[in-house]
């Protein structure tokens, strides 16, 4: 019996145009080899019209399409792209059992139209940053996105907060859906241990403003003025000018000596490095998922994370860290004060989470198995079960 053939449409798949894209979608496909995956990896460049297949290899077709920036004339250009993909599939004589659009607001529009051309069902991932941004900035397209969501055979929100945002923004009925967390390839835990009170964060320094460093530094400075000394190590590097800019920001707050730029740490050494701190803090302003939070929990470290961003909603009431409003210096300040006071109970909660299997839902095996079972059931038709 032929394997179900899934046609993926993704702007975030490492391809011949850009090999440095996030591996999240590729990891999902690699973990479900029982499915016959075909990928159209789409790349927009500024312009008006024109679609080119830059490369065809290993069942991945790299497409470059020209369209205006800022989502101007979004639907007409995506409709043209969908028509091109459907015609290309038909020209190859390929059977497609299911189409998967890997973001609702972009790939979802394409997936719906391609599926209609091919006469098959489609599913959609709902991701954080891009989907939330377009839903917020383009209310005139809400009716179109509501149709995409309502007609999808299944929706796969990557986090609880983007699921809530989607349902509230589009006033969706009970659309069939389940969470599809980003896969972690971490293969072991480090138990929490007693450490000093030092805090740590880690990110690519080019994004230091979006990662919430201005407000975090302001909060640390506020606590210093109140007689509470917080020390923070920042792990990360940047080939450009970001490191110097961040160093100037640290100095501007008078935190030289309290906040230290540690530079890059090899990925293999990160668990042991994180394990030596009291807590991991990242009050990011934008974050679709935030794999680094999971890396910290696997490394036995409590976390300070942002509400309605990243992993918010996965660990409610489990005591493994603190949630803050990343736009509020006061909120970050109070969270830091609590972390500085005592992380002992939080580390006990992290240990319980590790030991109880609370992190298993993020491992590749369970994520890929659940995804595969769901899409196979949809591809086979009603009544086949998940």
* Average pLDDT over every residue of 228-251: 94
Rounded to whole angstroms, how far apart are CA atoms 284 and 264? 19
Q: Give dist(CA 135, CA 105) in Å, integer.
A: 7
pLDDT at position 1, please? 60
Residue 382, pLDDT score: 57
Specify the fold of 5-183+363-380. Answer: Rossmann fold (3.40.50)
Candidates 136, 179, 175, 146; CA nearest to 160 is 179
Q: What is the mean pLDDT of residues 136-149?
A: 96
Mean local confidence (pLDDT), 370-379: 96
| Confidence band for 222, pLDDT divided at 50, 70 and 90 | very high
Q: What is the mean pLDDT of residues 160-175?
A: 91
**How many angstroms separate the CA atoms of 360 and 175, rounded?**
26
Determine the Cα–Cα distance for residues 101 and 331; give it in Å rounded to an integer.
37
Cα–Cα separations (whole angstroms), residue 171 to 112, 117, 148, 153, 261: 19, 27, 13, 18, 45
Q: What is the mean pLDDT of residues 157-169?
A: 95
Per residue in 304-327, pLDDT (tens digit) is 999 999 999 999 989 999 999 999
Whether the predicted pLDDT of 125 surpasses 60: yes
Q: Which CATH number fits domain 199-360: 3.30.470.20, 3.40.50.10490, 3.40.50.2000, 3.40.470.10?
A: 3.40.50.2000
CB neighbours of residue 318 within 10 Å? 14
Q: What is the mean pLDDT of residues 177-204?
A: 93
Q: What is the pLDDT of residue 384?
A: 42
Strand blocks (E) in the chain: 5-10, 36-46, 51-57, 60-67, 98-101, 122-126, 154-157, 199-202, 232-235, 259-263, 279-281, 303-306, 321-324
Task: Give me the mean pLDDT over the 14-34 stretch.
Answer: 94
Burial class (CB in 10 A: 0-12, 13-18, 19+), 143: exposed
pLDDT digits (tens, 9 = 90+) for 322-345: 999 999 999 999 999 999 878 999
What is the model's pLDDT at position 352? 97
| Token output for 344 | 């002992």
Query: Do the bridges between strand 303-306 and strand 321-324 make them parallel or antiparallel, or are there none, so unpaired?
Result: parallel
Please say whether the beta carbons of 286 and 296 come within 8 A.
no
Q: What is the pTM of this model?
A: 0.91
pLDDT higher than 70, residue 135 = yes
> How high is the mean pLDDT of the chain?
94
Is pLDDT of 381 > 80? Answer: no
Residue carrying the six token digits 């007609």: 151
pLDDT at 107 over 90: yes
- Tell me whether domains 5-183+363-380 and 199-360 share a fold: yes
Distance CA 169, CA 146 (A): 9
**Rg (alpha carbons) of the chain, rounded to whole number:** 22
DSSP state of 328: -
The pairing of strands 303-306 and 279-281 is parallel
Map out the domains of the chain as residue ranges: 5-183+363-380, 199-360
Q: How far apart are CA 170 and CA 204, in angstroms?
A: 34
Mean pLDDT of 193-205: 95
Greater confidence (49 vs 289) lies with 289
């Amino acid at each position: 019996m032929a394997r179900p053939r899934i046609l993926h449409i993704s702007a975030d798949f490492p391809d011949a145009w850009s090999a440095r894209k996030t591996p999240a979608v590729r990891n999902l496909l690699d973990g479900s080899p029982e499915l016959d995956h075909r990928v159209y990896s789409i790349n927009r460049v500024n312009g008006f019209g024109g679609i080119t297949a830059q490369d065809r290899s290993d069942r991945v077709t790299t497409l470059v399409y020209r369209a205006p920036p800022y989502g101007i004339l979004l639907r007409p250009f995506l409709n043209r792209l969908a028509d091109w993909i459907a015609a290309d599939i038909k020209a190859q004589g390929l059977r497609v059992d299911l189409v998967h659009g890997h973001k609702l607001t972009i790939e979802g529009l394409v997936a719906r139209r391609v599926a209609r051309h091919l006469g098959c069902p489609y599913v959609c991932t709902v991701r954080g940053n891009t989907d939330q941004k377009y839903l917020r900035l383009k209310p005139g397209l809400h009716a179109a996105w509501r149709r995409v969501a309502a007609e999808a055979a299944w929706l796969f929100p990557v986090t609880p907060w983007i699921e809530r945002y989607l349902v509230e923004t589009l006033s969706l009925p009970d659309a069939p859906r389940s969470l599809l967390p980003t896969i972690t390839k971490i293969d072991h835990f480090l138990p929490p241990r007693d450490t000093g009170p030092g805090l740590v964060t880690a990110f690519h320094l080019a994004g230091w403003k979006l990662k919430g460093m201005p407000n975090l530094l302001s909060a640390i400075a506020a606590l210093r003025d109140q007689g509470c000394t917080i020390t923070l190590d920042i792990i990360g590097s940047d080939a450009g000018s970001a490191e110097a800019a961040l160093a100037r920001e640290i100095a501007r707050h008078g935190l030289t000596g309290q906040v230290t730029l540690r530079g890059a740490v090899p990925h293999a050494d990160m668990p042991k490095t994180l394990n030596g701190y009291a807590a991991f803090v990242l009050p990011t302003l934008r974050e679709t998922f935030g794999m680094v939070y999971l890396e910290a929990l696997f490394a036995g470290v409590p976390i300070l994370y942002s509400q309605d961003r990243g992993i918010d909603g996965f660990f409610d009431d489990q005591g493994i860290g603190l949630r803050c409003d990343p736009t509020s210096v006061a909120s970050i300040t109070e969270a830091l004060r609590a972390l500085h006071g005592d992380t002992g109970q939080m580390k006990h909660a992290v240990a319980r989470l590790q030991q109880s299997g609370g992190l298993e839902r993020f491992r590749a095996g369970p994520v890929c198995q659940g995804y595969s079972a769901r899409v196979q059931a949809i591809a086979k038709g009603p009544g086949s079960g998940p």
